[in-house]
């Protein structure tokens, strides 16, 4: 599309040029030079009149009469070496301009000189002086360098660049522009998506966490800024305005994605509370990650390959307490040979390793029995949240939780130990594993069953490891007395503040209950001893952190 010129002769601010270059550009008698050496006038180019305002001062012409500037070149380590292209066209010696003298090295002629192929760009340095980006004959574009005007004596090359420079301004400034709203709608999305994705993670999180609560500029304001950036005469101001527009467009895009994310998070939260006991919230104030995919929320364990529900039903007898449970010798804990587990406030008062036997469906007591804590379900408020230190999702307290309070159960898919071993090989490759061996009564014995919470589970799926946890796991038997199939329950190890993350030790208190933990005896000569697995770096941040866990 041809540029459309305004009726008035436009004024174009050009880079500062030496006088002999101006003489080439200005052919009209209207050209004038004031006492300060500033040149202005009408430039006749391809039948069009363009008014030129050049702020070059004549005293700079003196540098072109002195011997060529000496320096080591090319500088391949330049930060600006990524600009310029090589079109492969051939130039005659007359077209290539004046040679530049540099110390003799590979690529120079017998006089130690290099030839300028073309000038490809222009900028101002921090002091406002002109610099030109030069492509050198016989050298790749990675060897292009920025040169000050005083280093260049290639008049024809500068002339060619200035003609292109003027035409570029004409096409930008006098071509009819699309509406700014259309321009924003059609261009900023791809630019901003790339900007968001390519930002280093730390900077991205910082901008994002602040951006959630910032107020972005209105589209109309951005449109005006974009229009001002297109028509500004100062390149430095244009760059600053473009950066500002890009940042605000990024904020707009992030707010759009954030809105979509919050809608998905709300749907997920509603679904969790409709399926589970309620009191569960979801939040992400860290990044734009949505609900986890390929994860199913369940309220009780499900069976996996090689396991059927009949295998999980054991013999159990119910108590016949006529008074409140816990006061009779025939109550369930007493018949199992263990201590009463709960206080009057339904808080755990025994070691989690001692075993908990609650009343079951055959007992004569009702649902309000003080020995039916775990089976009544979670009563505390919890929040699934996104951690800020790269540990993915986590679980934190939605209210203050007292020591010994029941938190939740560890649910998932019950599989055989053989199936668990096969899955563990694949999980080890990804560094993610949710396998929990059901060996609560005797960790020295090989477990028969394992719980896998990788693809299904409840809120316990999101609990992270800590070397100094505030929760621990206990084995609970309700509808069976079979030691091989306990229910895994988590209790508060100490008082937990509202908003504090809930964690447990994947290696257990003393023994390696969580799959992947060795027995502190890694003698390779003993084939019966498990081999140490690849350690995972711990990010719990505790002052007792061991740095790694298995």
Q: What is the DSSP string of 410-438?
A: ---EEEEHHHHHHHHHHHHHHT---EEE-
Which residues pair with residue 471 across a beta bridge? 492
Question: What is the pLDDT, as a whole number, of residue 390?
Answer: 86
Task: Decide: 18 and 149 in contact? Cβ < 8 Å.
Answer: yes
- Measure the CA–CA gap between 508 and 473, rounded to whole angstroms: 8
Does the N-terminal peptide bond of residue 400 adopt cis geometry, omega within 30 degrees of 0?
Answer: no
**DSSP class of residue 222?**
H
Q: What is the fold, at CATH topology level, of the domain defined by 279-509+535-549?
A: Beta-clip-like (2.170.270)
DSSP code of 348? B
State the helix-helix crossing angle for 219-231 and 155-174, rounded to 10 degrees: 150
Detail the residues annotated as belonging to a binding site for Zn(2+). 319, 321, 331-332, 359, 363, 365, 369, 467, 538, 540, 545
The rounded average pLDDT for each run of 10 residues, N- to C-terminus, in the chain (550 residues) is 39 46 45 42 44 38 32 36 40 42 46 78 79 87 86 79 66 50 52 50 47 55 66 66 68 75 93 92 89 92 87 80 78 90 94 91 90 95 93 95 97 93 88 86 78 95 94 93 90 96 83 37 42 70 80
**What is the predicted pLDDT for the residue at 167?**
61
What residue segments make up the domains of the chain, in order of their start?
116-168, 181-260, 279-509+535-549
E-assigned strands of 322-376? 356-357
User: Cα separation of 230 and 173, whole Å?
Assistant: 7
Residues 6+ apart with CB under 8 A from 83: 120, 121, 133, 141, 144
Instruction: Please state which CATH number belongs to domain 116-168.
Output: 2.40.50.40
Question: Quick one: pLDDT at residue 249?
Answer: 66
Question: Is the separation of the CB atoms in 134 and 122 below 8 Å?
Answer: no
- Known binding-site residue numbers: 319, 321, 331-332, 359, 363, 365, 369, 391-393, 464-465, 467, 506, 538-540, 545
- Binding positions for S-adenosyl-L-methionine are 391-393, 464-465, 506, 539
- pLDDT for 225 equals 67
pTM: 0.58
pLDDT value, residue 405: 97
Q: Tell me whether residue 487 is exposed, middle or buried, using C-beta atoms within 10 angstroms of its C-beta: 0 to 12, 13 to 18, 19 or more.
A: buried
* Burial per residue of 29-40, b for 16 or more beta-carbon CB atoms within 10 angstroms, e otherwise: eebebeeebebb
């Amino acid at each position: 599309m041809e540029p459309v010129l305004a009726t008035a002769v436009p004024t174009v601010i050009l880079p500062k040029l030496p006088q002999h270059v101006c003489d080439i550009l200005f052919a009209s008698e209207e050209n004038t030079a004031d006492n300060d050496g500033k040149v202005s006038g009408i430039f006749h180019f391809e039948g069009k009149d363009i008014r030129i305002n050049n702020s070059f001062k004549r005293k700079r012409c003196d540098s072109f009469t002195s011997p060529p500037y000496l320096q080591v070149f090319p500088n391949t380590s330049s930060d600006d070496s990524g600009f310029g292209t090589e079109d492969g066209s051939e130039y005659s010696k007359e077209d290539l301009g004046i040679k530049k003298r540099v110390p003799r090295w590979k690529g120079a002629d017998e006089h130690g000189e290099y030839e300028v192929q073309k000038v490809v760009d222009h900028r101002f340095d921090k002091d406002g002086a002109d610099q030109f980006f030069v492509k050198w004959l016989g050298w790749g574009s990675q060897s292009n360098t920025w040169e000050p005007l005083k280093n260049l004596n290639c008049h024809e090359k500068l002339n060619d660049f200035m003609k292109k420079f003027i035409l570029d301004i004409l096409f930008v400034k006098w071509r009819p522009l699309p509406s700014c709203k259309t321009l924003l709608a059609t261009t900023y999305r791809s630019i901003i998506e790339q900007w968001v994705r390519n930002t280093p993670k730390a900077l991205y999180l910082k901008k994002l966490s602040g951006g959630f609560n910032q107020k972005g500029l209105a589209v109309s304001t951005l449109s005006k800024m974009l229009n001002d950036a297109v028509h500004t005469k100062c390149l430095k101001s244009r760059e600053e305005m473009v950066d500002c527009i890009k940042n605000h467009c990024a904020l707009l895009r992030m707010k759009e994605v954030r809105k979509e994310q919050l809608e998905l998070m709300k749907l997920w939260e509603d679904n969790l509370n409709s399926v589970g006991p309620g009191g569960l919230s979801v939040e992400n104030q860290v990044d734009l990650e949505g609900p986890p995919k390929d994860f199913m929320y369940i309220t009780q364990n499900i069976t996996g390959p090689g396991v059927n529900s009949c295998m999980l039903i054991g013999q159990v007898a119910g108590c016949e307490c006529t008074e409140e449970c816990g006061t009779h010798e025939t109550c369930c804990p007493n018949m199992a040979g263990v201590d009463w587990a709960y206080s009057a406030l339904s808080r755990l008062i025994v070691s989690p390793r001692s075993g908990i036997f609650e009343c079951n469906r055959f007992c004569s007591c009702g649902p309000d029995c003080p020995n039916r804590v775990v089976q009544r379900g979670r009563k505390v408020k919890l929040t699934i949240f996104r951690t800020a230190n790269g540990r993915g999702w986590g679980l934190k307290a939605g209210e203050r939780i007292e020591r010994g309070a029941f938190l939740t159960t560890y649910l998932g898919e019950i599989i055989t130990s053989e199936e668990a071993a096969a899955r563990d090989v694949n999980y080890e490759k990804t560094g993610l594993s949710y396998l929990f061996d059901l060996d609560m009564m005797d960790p020295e014995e090989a477990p028969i069953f394992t719980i896998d919470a990788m693809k299904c589970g409840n809120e316990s799926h999101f609990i992270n490891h800590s070397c100094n946890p505030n929760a621990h796991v206990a084995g609970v038997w309700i509808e069976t007395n079979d030691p091989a199939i306990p229910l895994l329950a988590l209790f508060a190890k100490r008082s937990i503040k509202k908003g504090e993350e809930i964690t447990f030790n994947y290696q257990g208190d003393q023994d390696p209950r969580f799959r992947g933990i060795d027995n502190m005896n890694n003698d390779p000569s003993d084939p019966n001893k498990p081999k140490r697995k690849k350690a995972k770096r711990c990010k719990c941040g505790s002052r007792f952190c061991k740095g790694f866990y298995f």
